[in-house]
Amino acid sequence: MLKKIAYITLFALSLTSCSDALDDINKNPNATETPLAPYLLTGTLKQGADLYWGSANNFDSSLLFVQHWAKIQYTEPDRYDVSNASFTTLWNTGYATLITDLNTILNFPEAQANSNYKGIALTLRSWTFLLLTDAYGSIPYKEAGLKVTPAYNTQKEVYTGLLEDLKRAQSLLNSANGAVTGDLSYKGDISKWKKLVNSLRLRIALRISDKEPALAKQAAIEATTDAAGVLSSNSDTFKFTYISSPQQNPASAWFETRDDYRISKTMVDKLKELSDPRLPVYAQLPSDASVGTYVGGGNGLSNSAANSQGFAKTSKPGTYFLTSTSPAVLVSYSEVLFNLSEAAARGYIAGDAEQLYKSAITASFNQFGITDAATIAAYLNQPTVQYDATNYAKSIGTQKWIAFFGQGLDAFTEWRRLDYPVLTAGPDTVLEGKIPSRFFYPGTEQSLNGASYQAAVSVQGKDLLTTKLWFDVK
């Protein structure tokens, strides 16, 4: 019996020894056991840009809903024939990757991340939550990352909470608070991050303007009177610039091996109607040289009808968007000017709404390489382009829709909010002539967070593509 006990003891000790040895073998002597703030920041910027510009949330959904792009084959998403498995990427990556990594930075001690890292992390986390609530509506916000089955907050609660988060981010950001590395967007320029914070505050002010006008006005005033300012030139635009494969623009990677998309006929027809010089930037001429003009693809067509338009006789999106190094624009100077114009038109802030509107269009032209003053003036002087003070939503909504080309998620949100331009669902769509108003929640929420999911939909409305969100009042 004693011999058996001795063998068991010896076996246990040998297992412990082997375990310790394996632990030593499995350690990478060149790797840190603690994540570093610069690496987390770089990763978040890259993954956030991929999420915003990639297929699932952009050209296979929101770009189709707002009729920037159209599908020429495999047209199910363009007909809204989708399921609750179709919109999981924004949710899963938003929470499990972006918010998780940004919370890690926020929870670092000062020795691992100075307050500028934390201000940037809070800004990026706010941007991520904003994308999530704009797309889905009520979302886990206050308990996100704290509980396995977090409660959902209403969209109103999320927007108002983000305004407070961004105030805090502004207070954390100061050029005297230490250097930042790993910042592939603004190269550690804290003044630009501070401008971005205020620009996001202004964006949220307009999101809530039709529901909470008093709070919206207060938020707009605070954002525009803060000493840091808002984005003030195209050089301030918040973007991620890609490099060569495999770290290339997602659209570039897709078009290397696939041929599923065309620029939408709706967009081409509008640009032709306005003699808009952005057309050759937004679109390529068809590969069949005999066509000789830009031809958009119809939205919401059956596979056979879409195919019959002709792959060689229709226009792909412009090469500006399809090269390896094409930038992923996330918040543009043009958008900020449109937002300032609307805030002035609503009487929230002082300013000339018409001049800001013209400046916004000019900034969009410049963003896409169109700088000739005579060309811009001729465009702005057209009756169909001139600012209509009696219907600022139509003027701003239409031009913002054009300027947002390629930025599907934000174009989709602003189209729902401003209700311009008027879009018509394609002939073979499956929502009884309606265009989606939101994304489905992922199916996993029903199975893994069922009680919170059910509580959310009982307040917001059924988990349907056509359920209007809180901000979308018309």
Band (pLDDT 50/70/90 cuts) for residue 119 is very high
- Confidence band, pLDDT 50/70/90 cuts, at residue 474: confident
20 or 286: whose pLDDT is higher? Answer: 286
Q: Which two tokens stand for residue 147?
A: 């509980």
Which pLDDT band holds residue 155 (cuts at 50, 70, 90)? very high
- pTM for the whole thing? 0.93
pLDDT exceeds 70 at position 242: yes
Is residue 17 predicted with pLDDT exceeding 90? no
pLDDT over 60 at 207, yes or no: yes
Residue 278 has pLDDT above 50, yes or no: yes
State the pLDDT at residue 8.
Answer: 39
Distance, CA of 101 to CA of 44 (rounded, Å): 7
**pLDDT (0 to 100) of residue 247:** 86
Our CA angle for 154, 157, 159, nearest 5°, is: 110
- Which residues, at least 6 apart from 13, have a Cβ–Cβ distance to it below 8 Å? none
Check residue 3 and give its pLDDT.
Answer: 38
The DSSP call for residue 261 is E
**Average of per-residue pLDDT across 119-139:** 98
- pLDDT at res. 34: 64
User: How many CA atoms within 13 Å lie on the side-chain side of 303?
Assistant: 6
Average pLDDT over residues 313-334: 96
Look-up of token digits 């500028």: 116
C-alpha 56 chain-centroid distance? 12
Q: How confident is the model at residue 245 (pLDDT cuts 50, 70, 90)?
A: confident
* CA-closest candidate to residue 220, choices 313, 370, 341, 94: 341
- pLDDT of residue 27 exceeding 60, the answer is no
In this prediction, residue 64 has a pLDDT band, given cuts at 50, 70 and 90, of very high
For residue 390, the model assigns a pLDDT of 98
- What mean pLDDT is predicted for residues 87-115? 97
Lowest mean pLDDT among 8-12, 102-106, 207-211, 358-362: 8-12
Summarize pLDDT for 286-310 with one digit per residue, the tens. Answer: 999 999 999 999 999 999 999 999 9
> Per 3-state DSSP, what percentage of the chain is helix, strand, and coil (rounded to 5)?
55, 5, 40
Q: What is the mean pLDDT of the chain?
A: 93
Which pLDDT score, from 0 to 100, does residue 315 have?
98
Tokens of 290: 């005999």
Asked whether the predicted pLDDT for residue 269 surpasses 60, the reply is yes
Check residue 455 and give its pLDDT. 98
Q: What pairing do the DSSP bridges indicate for beta strands 261-263 and 69-71?
A: antiparallel
pLDDT tens-digit series, residues 382-399: 999 999 999 999 999 999
CA 409 – CA 134 distance, rounded (Å): 8
Residue 380 to residue 224: CA distance in whole angstroms: 26
Q: Which of 12-16, 41-45, 400-404 has the lowest mean pLDDT?
A: 12-16
According to DSSP, the residues that pair with 262 across neighbouring strands are: 70
Q: How confident is the model at residue 439 (pLDDT cuts 50, 70, 90)?
A: very high
- The set of residues, in sequence order, having a beta carbon less than 8 Å from that of 279 and lying 6+ positions away, is 268, 271, 272, 294
Residue 210 reports pLDDT greater than 70: yes
DSSP string, 342-354: HHHHTTSS-S-HH
Which pLDDT does position 35 carry in this prediction?
77
